[in-house]
Amino acid sequence: MPEIRYDGATPLEDRAIRQIVGVAMDAPARARSGHSGTAMALAPLGVMLWSRVLRHDPTDPTWFDRDRFVLSCGHASILQYALAHSFGYDVTREDLRSFRQLHSRTPGHPERGVTPTVEVTTGPLGQGVANGVGLAMAERVLRAEYGEDLVDHRTWVIAGDGCLEEGVSHEAASLAGYLGLDRLTVFYDDNHITIDGPTELALRDDPAGRFRAYGWHVIELGERANDLVALEAAVREAVAETTRPSLVVIRSHIGFPSPEMMDTKEAHGNPFSPEAISKVKEMLGLVDEPFVLDDDLPVALLESLAPRREANAAWRTRVTAAGERGTRLLHQVATHAALDHAVAPEPYEAGTKAATRRALQRAIDAFSPHMPGLVAGSADLTENTGVALTGTVAQDVRHPGGRQIHFGIREFAMSASVVGMAHHGGIRPVGSTFFVFSDYARPAVRLAALSEAPALFVYTHDSIGVGEDGPTHQPVEHLMSLRAMPHLHVVRPSDANETLDLVGRVLRARDPAPTALVLSRQDLVVFGGAEATASREGAHRGGYVVREVEGARFTLVATGSEVSLCLAAADELAARGIAVRVAALPCWKCFEDQPTAYRDAVVRRDLPSLAVEAGATLGWARYADEALGIDTFGLSAPGPQVFTALGLVPETVVAHVTRVLNEEP
């Protein structure tokens, strides 16, 4: 039987690697589900990185100035869990045995908030690369603001063939290369295997050449996946690079050292057979029983991390010595860079007209000077979406403190990097684009919602009001699509002043929820009188009565620009002697969080009702008897003409109400 060697490993590291390889087989076998092969092949890299390089402290997993580690190929999650256990984190033998089981702390893919060491929720391939770009961006902005003595860490990402095939990694790598994120290192596990078989079935890329073209520093290690000396040398070379991100290409062999499973597609996603596991354990000198773990190993590895743990203590000393600067940093981290200042933007005058996207810009102008952690940008639409930051420069290698991000036409990478920034801490990130292009961003928004990232996604040009650009640019199904996403707050304000208020509340929140702010391109009438008061008092609750009338016989319910449409229809109906009340639901999730009595008082289901929204009608049955919306695609014409052509005008609403009430003239 061949001798298995891990060149350059210390006796302690060698034990850890072999034990992790065993766990990488045992856990999926017990679960009858999971991915052993990649974790087995990457065990030497993981141990070397965590043992010799990664700046971390298992006794203080959330130490702010720790290095960030991201397993972008999240299907290999057992590698991260086994590393965490081996290095003394709070991941127990029973946690490893419960891999992929109900309510386990070791789920099938890494989930932030479930397992120590998991910085971001990964699984859908490629997004971890973009999350890593966001983490590195956040570190750079904070380092420029507070100095290297307080902020000085790196981001390490392990990615596989699938990650580099997914388009989001291309977008993110291009952005990172332009920005020159030198404290970002991505390890590319080039194992040549996918679920269908060899990567050569569909891939002939030259990843090293591609990343060099993006502006990265590329290190090609070749067949050195089991050589800890070579792996460490590559890492030290990456650390020495001060102008570019680094890609380390490692040719590994999935399932190593299994004679039966190595370099096979079955090693990717199939648990190993008992016979295959026994053979590998015999080759590695392991006890041929599941989950035989050395109790002294975590203790010994934790002791070996003493210099890194001392760095934690030294950092805390420096933070204290920094006085007010250190206090500000800790406060910014603890509050997710919330707005603390009492500043308020100038309100719009009642009766005037303003697009809610313009109101966002007014809010940003007022708040951003008092929010050093506010980082905002757009996918090439900064002026259009209202996220221009005054008093700052654009982020790039020459301006590491720049808080204005030009993401380029990269909606997916923008959104995934915003998630990374949000989870880094100390940053309040905003990413924006036209609402219809949320389609390109949706997978990242979903992971933001799943991991409850304190991120703000701004979507403007929210309806057929986009006008002449036509159906390709007119969102229809998007509102309902995002509302269907658990944990995501989808906010569509009714007028400009409501936008100012809600943006202020979002930015002042110290524990903010992932939020999609959906804003109009076209001007909307600014509320006055009782409607303005109702908005101030009720919009933050997700729903409120805009206009209550005595003897009401009907309720109109709307969001965004259609609230004004319903008010105009109510005025016409009032002139005919028909009393109609109007309710606005700017955020369904916020509204659902309110007491039942409050919700019932707003929507009044005891009265006949109609929902009006320039989008798909699916879902409105929860709040109204019928819905007037758009269940087709839009038209290319000036916005007002499109609204008229599709029946989203007061006359249609008036006709519906009179018909339901048998009040036909």
- Identify residue 14 by its one-letter amino acid code: D
Residues whose CB is less than 8 angstroms from the CB of residue 148 and which lie 6 or more positions away in sequence, other chains included: none
374 with 367: CB under 8 angstroms?
Answer: yes
438: left (phi over 0), alpha (psi -120 to 50) or beta: alpha
Look-up: residue for tokens 């109101």?
359
47: its two tokens: 């141990």
Residues whose CB is less than 8 angstroms from the CB of residue 145 and which lie 6 or more positions away in sequence, other chains included: 151, 372, 401
Distance between CA atoms of 91 and 87, rounded to whole angstroms? 9
Q: At what angle do helices 296-304 and 77-86 cross, to 10 degrees?
A: 80
Please say if 411 is a catalytic residue.
yes
According to DSSP, the residues that pair with 155 across neighbouring strands are 68, 184
Per-position b or e across 412-430, b if 16+ CB within 10 A of its CB: bbbbbbbbbbbbbbbbbbb
DSSP assignment, residue 555?
Answer: E
419 with 455: CB under 8 angstroms?
Answer: yes
117: its two tokens: 């060491």
Q: Rounding to the nearest 10 degrees, give the CA dihedral for residues 198, 204, 206, 207.
A: -50
Q: How far is CA 281 from CA 26, 31, 275, 541, in A?
A: 10, 19, 10, 59
Please state the separation of Cα 233 from the chain's center in Å: 33
- Identify residue 306 by its one-letter amino acid code: A
Distance between CA atoms of 406 and 420, rounded to whole angstroms? 16
422 with 429: CB under 8 angstroms?
Answer: yes
According to DSSP, the residues that pair with 628 across neighbouring strands are 612
Cα Rg of the chain, angstroms: 28
Please state the separation of Cα 136 from the chain's center in Å: 14
Ramachandran angles phi, psi of 426, nearest 5°:
85, 0
Q: How many helices (H) and strands (E) does the chain have?
A: 26, 18
Residue 472's Cβ-count burial label (10 Å; 0-12, 13-18, 19+) is exposed
Residue 581's Cβ-count burial label (10 Å; 0-12, 13-18, 19+) is buried
214: its two tokens: 């993006």
HEC string of 385-438? HCCCCCCCCECECCECCCCEEECCCCHHHHHHHHHHHHHHCCCEEEEEEEHHHH
Question: Whats the size of the chain, residue-wise?
Answer: 665
640 with 464: CB under 8 angstroms?
Answer: no
Q: Please tell me which residue in 411, 452, 562, 613 is annotated as part of the active site.
A: 411
Give catalytic residue positions. Answer: 411
